[in-house]
Amino acid sequence: MPLSTQCLIALGGNVGVSGETFASACEVLAASGAEIEQLSAVIRTPAVGANAGAEFLNAAAVLTTSMTAPELLRTLHRVENQFGRTRTVHWGPRTLDLDLILYGDSVIDSDEVVVPHPAMWYRRFVLFPAAEVAPAMRHPLLDRTVEQLLQRLNCLPLVFHLQWQNVCEPVEMRDLSPASPGSSGKRHWLLQLCRQLRVSVPEHLAKFVISPPDIESERPFAELRFSAERSVSDSSSVSDSSSVPTGSEFLQAAAARRRQPSQQGDFIINLSADSDCERAVQDIVIAATGGDHDAVSGVAAKT
């Protein structure tokens, strides 16, 4: 009999979706050969992306399965289709979104499957419910637990380093006044981007710094990379899954932890073209912060 693998999946949707939808999706997954160990409380989060539509409901689930990662991903897609999922608009509104976040401690990068999910580490709408059901599951590449990655996002304001080739002088937000000396080329464009972000992103959520580039990217517009230099240390306490409160108790406890000061984490955004970079950075900030302190909230199981 094939060995079972413990997996973490994220559930979301914003078109006719409810907590009952997530529970029903888990029942279908169970009938397809996955054993559902735990389903988190449902949270309400702001939409990410210009075409995403209304706010989302999100949750997370831990399951075990003997399916391979590609088989599990195909099963998730089949369940999405059963619940009316269509893929006509990238990051558009959706009835049900099932993402494979972790497949045990496997690292897979193929045309069909990429795990760990490349965006899990900075998405609050993934980590917040995941920390309820899988706080000790570990990102095999970053060597951080789900709880530690969430703690990292709780250190507001987050610091985002904007990088572009040949822009080498560090510039902080406080230096970006309208009277700042003008420049040309990429540095001038980055200064303008930072000024725009200062207007559009609340200063208690994010701080932007122009930093010297340390890699060259071939990505089309924005690449967000993990920086371990100032992340929450491995010595920080990680709750055992048996001691983590559930439902409304978890939401209250998480909100209390969010108000506690802790070590700040850095984020690196490597920009390689100027196409809609402001929107891209805004989406990253919304995904990482939840948009504001009170943007992530609990909802009833049926809404």
Residue closest to 176 by CA, chosen among 213, 205, 212, 208? 208
Q: What is the pLDDT of residues 20-55, one digit of tens each?
A: 999 999 999 999 999 999 999 999 998 887 666 688
Write the CATH number for 125.
3.30.70.560
Written as one letter, the residue type at 119 is A
Q: What is the pLDDT of residues 50-63, one digit of tens each?
A: 666 688 899 999 99
Inside any domain, residue 178: no
For the ranges 1-15, 73-87, 164-178, the lowest mean pLDDT is seen at: 164-178
Inside any domain, residue 74: yes
Of 135 and 208, more confident: 135
Q: Which residues contact 215 (CB under 8 A, 6 or more apart)?
A: 225, 270
Domain holding 120, by residue range, is: 5-144
Inside any domain, residue 266: no
Based on the structure, what is the number of domains in the chain? 1
Share of the chain above pLDDT 70, in %: 63
Written as one letter, the residue type at 81 is N
pTM for this one? Answer: 0.76
> Are 150 and 176 spatial neighbours (Cβ–Cβ below 8 Å)?
no
Inside any domain, residue 180: no
Helices (H), 109-180: 124-133, 146-153
Inside any domain, residue 219: no
Greatest mean pLDDT range, 57-71, 145-159, 165-179, 235-249 = 57-71
Q: Give a three-class secondary structure readout of 44-78.
A: EECCCCCCCCCCEEEEEEEEEECCCHHHHHHHHHH
Inside any domain, residue 211: no
Inside any domain, residue 247: no
Measure Cα distances from 133 to 38, 80, 96, 106, 130 in Å.
6, 22, 20, 19, 5
Give the residue numbers annotated as catalytic, written as ranges.
85, 94, 97, 99
Inside any domain, residue 140: yes
Q: What is the pLDDT of residues 238-264, one digit of tens each?
A: 233 333 333 444 444 444 444 333 334
